[in-house]
Structure 1
């Protein structure tokens, strides 16, 4: 299977790429600069590195990149710097999601493409009645005002929910919502829930980036797991950190 991963140079995206390579899939990644990528990636015949800014690629270029892919995964996010948070592009994740989906639809392939979006537990699944406290509503409201990346994450997931929807013949999707991200070396036990089981603001759990990468890779490669979660926004926690 050929998979396109955007955001592959990030802390979580790199873990997803590694998991897919372990499973011997062919991977395409789009990165602005390959300089910081692992040397082993640059010599791996199963990995194609496309050096470009995703939003600056033409529709023709994007179409060619996606044409032979069975799945697309986005681990895009904003750098936690002043420029990354408040500079352009403020709608990086949303605009990339929309462009990728537009290209997938224009290719009009015979079977639907899997689209996996890394999102956040700070974003509610509005298809479900996910209760949150008044205090958390107030904090989320402030985040929307003060942190453009939070709004970007919300709008990207909303695009999949409302514009792609549940019955699209060309695209099926899952938006994975990790709780507080941490670094660990190895995949450990984790649990998946349809909705948060704790407050993302006041009682956040933890999940390792490698576990998120493992779950996203499993969604792409395991049909039964995909059928269970497609069209949903599952929440992932590492079991060792749920005390």
Structure 2
């Protein structure tokens, strides 16, 4: 199994790379700078690191990144700075998901490429009847208009849900929705749910980044997990 991890130098991306390597998978990691990858990982024989900005990559570059990969994982996110939140590209995640998916569709693999998108519990799965309160609807409407990264997360998931959909011959997908992210040293008990069991706005749960990384690695490496969640948008909470 070979996985392409985009956003591999981020707080969750680094943990995902480590989890995949622990399972004996090959990892192709795209990072802005290899200095953000722990030296112990850089020396791993199953890891290859590509220093690049995915938003600056040509179509030929994207095709080369995806070629030979069984799975593609996006842990991309906007930097939590004024420029990162309100600057361009405002659809960083959406555009990356579209271009990576298009490259996966063209590579002619014998079986579908697995695509895993890290998203947020604040985004609804519109394939399901995920009802939220009027107050939460108001807050989310404000977030869409005032905070570009939130809309970017929604559009990225919608692309997989509607453009790729459920029965594509070249791509299968899972959108992973953690709630409030926390930093923990070790994997702990956690529970995936098909839909939120609490309000992401008014009663948010917690999800450690390492648990998110563990769950995404399980999806990629464990066929039972993949078959359970493919085409869905599971929400992850710490136990």
TM-score when normalising by structure 2: 0.98
Shift, 1:42, TM fit: 2.0
Shift, 1:151, TM fit: 0.1
CA distance in 1, matches of 2:120, 2:71: 21
Shift, 1:61, TM fit: 2.1
CA distance in 2, matches of 1:132, 1:68: 41
TM-score when normalising by structure 1: 0.97
Is residue 103 of structure 1 aligned with residue 103 of structure 2?
yes
Alignment of 1:145-156 (within 5 A): 145-156=145-156
Shift, 1:34, TM fit: 1.3
Moved over 6 A (4+): none
SS at match of 1:99: helix
Shift, 1:41, TM fit: 2.1
CA distance in 1, matches of 2:213, 2:32: 21
* Structure 2: unaligned runs, 5 residues or longer: none
Match of 1:44 in 2: 44
Shift, 1:66, TM fit: 1.2
Contact 2:18/2:41 (<8 A) preserved: no
RMSD over aligned Cα atoms: 0.7
Shift, 1:56, TM fit: 1.8
Is residue 204 of structure 1 aligned with residue 191 of structure 2?
no
Shift, 1:110, TM fit: 1.3
Is residue 15 of structure 1 aligned with residue 15 of structure 2?
yes
CA distance in 2, matches of 1:174, 1:129: 18
Contact 2:34/2:49 (<8 A) preserved: yes
Alignment of 1:52-91 (within 5 A): 52-91=52-91
* Structure 1: unaligned runs, 5 residues or longer: none
SS at match of 1:116: strand
CA distance in 1, matches of 2:68, 2:39: 25
Match of 1:190 in 2: 190
Shift, 1:216, TM fit: 0.3
TM-superposition CA deviations, 1:75-100 (whole Å, max 9, x none): 10011110110011110100000000
Shift, 1:230, TM fit: 0.3
CA distance in 1, matches of 2:41, 2:95: 27
CA distance in 2, matches of 1:141, 1:69: 37
How many residue pairs get aligned? The number is 239
SS at match of 1:236: strand
CA distance in 2, matches of 1:36, 1:83: 20
CA distance in 2, matches of 1:149, 1:125: 17
CA distance in 1, matches of 2:53, 2:11: 18
Moved more, 183-192 or 50-59: 50-59
CA distance in 2, matches of 1:236, 1:43: 31
Contact 2:178/2:207 (<8 A) preserved: yes
